[in-house]
Structure 1
């Protein structure tokens, strides 16, 4: 009986690790990415990468902090990680954090906007009144992400706090957002756009890549309130398909990949590397140098 149990455990373990390493064997690249990039990754970058390399793209979208927590908790494994904030990468660096990330590249930015549904009964007000005043209207349904799980959620709270000072409205945050984790507003990042487009929300906080890409009417706050995603990319330390991961980073950082980013409303920036430069694959370093 004991022998059978041990054998069963071995078989199950082999199955689990076999599934984790499958991507390295079947030509699949697993990309874990910030939920604000769903449309870009699934409809543009992923298909274009597959067409050019023959490697299958498999994506997983969620709040950047949520993904990082799942990586650290060994609940999710991937080859490439694209975050919306450099701070998230820091939480995965060093022996104390599992050495999941040893380097990353800042490659693009996207300002935070207030997007609204053009069919909303409040839509006209966004054209005639200041946006913070509209967000205080009784009955308006506002959507945002969890500040603990997603940089965009944290940026939203920070921006509204600064707006309270700029517009001399001490209770602005409470009137518009309520509690930081207000369950009536906080939603998973990957579902926020869909909720707005379907009419479940009147307005929400989105990055410019989302509003531009999906033709969502949006307002950009005053320069003093500017908050933005700073997108980073890295190959995870335990990537099952490190070779495929390098080819994906090569593609995204190439002239063709950067052009796709621009087409989807992402502000491409001069790539900067943080961390152990020696750990970067030669092909990735070459494409970074070419983009300088």
Structure 2
């Protein structure tokens, strides 16, 4: 009987120890949902630097910003931090009608929309000598972009071409370059677009400057006078499983070191601007924002 009792205690101790370890591991994980254009920055730079600084574990998930918001809203995905490429996406998560997933967000960086091209493409030389809109209308060019319904970059692409058509008095520019807004011959998931270009499956595509700079993709800045660019925001989701870890990640990203990493990866760092319920921001995050605004 004594031996059985001892054995039971040992088993229960092992179960409790395993459970405690599991919870500890969960507490050390910080799940960051972020715009797919930031994959290289987050996975190779910010994530590892954050882990080294804090001892916490960065777990990233990249996709189109609207796609992530839809998954959060539909309760298909949970996360601690959400980084979007457009402030408009946050509106879909704010308020009771939208599930009250977000109460506030901070604008912290920008990145102009660029046209990146494969240097081995037969159209590469044309991008160096001809107007960009002329090259995009050349027969046979394989152009890639993201879904305007799922990703701000896709919507920015359509916006850019529409404004350019008006500014350059070329009413058929959108139709000749993009076709329908959701043209299946061009629209691809954001997380695969760079790979398709680098592998030669695409001749050119629409990317943010952080992508073209970071990955050494030859690029041109189409119609800079139209001012089409990503406006990156970040927030801590209201139902974050690890809100304390989320605050530490936001603090790191907005710190001098985090902002330095952003700049090194071709992102235009801006002074943080708060939108929404400022009183809901954790005090430690507010302190870092205040410091970065000076």
TM-score by length of 1: 0.91
| 1:132 correspondence with 2:133 | yes
Query: Displacement of 1:22 after TM fit?
Result: 5.8
| 1:143 correspondence with 2:147 | no
Equivalent-residue separation in structure 2 for 1:151 and 1:23 (angstroms) = 36
Q: Which has the larger radius of gyration?
A: 2
Query: Counterpart in 2 of 1:57?
Result: 58
Equivalent-residue separation in structure 1 for 2:131 and 2:168 (angstroms) = 10
After TM superposition, the structure 1 stretch with the greater mean CA deviation from structure 2, 157-166 or 138-147, is: 157-166
Question: How is 1:136-285 mapped onto 2 (pairs within 5 angstroms)?
Answer: 136-285=137-286
Q: Aligned in 2, Cα 1:23/1:280: closer, same or farther, shift over 3 Å?
A: farther
Q: Aligned in 2, Cα 1:269/1:65: closer, same or farther, shift over 3 Å?
A: same
Query: Displacement of 1:223 after TM fit?
Result: 2.9
Equivalent-residue separation in structure 2 for 1:22 and 1:36 (angstroms) = 32
Asked if the contact 2:27/2:242 (under 8 Å) is kept, the reply is no
Query: Displacement of 1:26 after TM fit?
Result: 4.0
**Per-residue displacement from partner, 1:92-117 (whole Å, max 9, x unpaired)?**
00011111000000000000001100
Query: Counterpart in 1 of 2:90?
Result: 89
Give the 4+ runs in structure 1 shifted more than 2 A.
21-26, 222-226
Asked if the contact 2:64/2:152 (under 8 Å) is kept, the reply is yes
Query: Displacement of 1:24 after TM fit?
Result: 7.4
After TM superposition, the structure 1 stretch with the greater mean CA deviation from structure 2, 224-233 or 236-245, is: 224-233
Asked if the contact 2:42/2:60 (under 8 Å) is kept, the reply is yes
Query: Counterpart in 1 of 2:71?
Result: 70
Q: Aligned in 2, Cα 1:175/1:286: closer, same or farther, shift over 3 Å?
A: same
Equivalent-residue separation in structure 1 for 2:214 and 2:122 (angstroms) = 23
Equivalent-residue separation in structure 1 for 2:279 and 2:249 (angstroms) = 19
Q: Aligned in 2, Cα 1:56/1:235: closer, same or farther, shift over 3 Å?
A: same
Count of matched residue positions in the alignment of Structure 1 and Structure 2: 273
Asked if the contact 1:23/1:241 (under 8 Å) is kept, the reply is no
Equivalent-residue separation in structure 2 for 1:200 and 1:132 (angstroms) = 20
**Per-residue displacement from partner, 1:167-208 (whole Å, max 9, x unpaired)?**
221111111000000001000011111110110100000000
Equivalent-residue separation in structure 2 for 1:164 and 1:22 (angstroms) = 55
SS in 1 for 2:31: strand
**Per-residue displacement from partner, 1:18-56 (whole Å, max 9, x unpaired)?**
9xx968734100000000000000000000000110100
Query: Counterpart in 2 of 1:79?
Result: 80
Unmatched runs of 5 consecutive residues or more in structure 1: 1-17
Query: Displacement of 1:160 after TM fit?
Result: 0.3
Query: Counterpart in 2 of 1:289?
Result: 290
Equivalent-residue separation in structure 1 for 2:24 and 2:89 (angstroms) = 25
Query: Displacement of 1:221 after TM fit?
Result: 1.6
TM-score by length of 2: 0.91
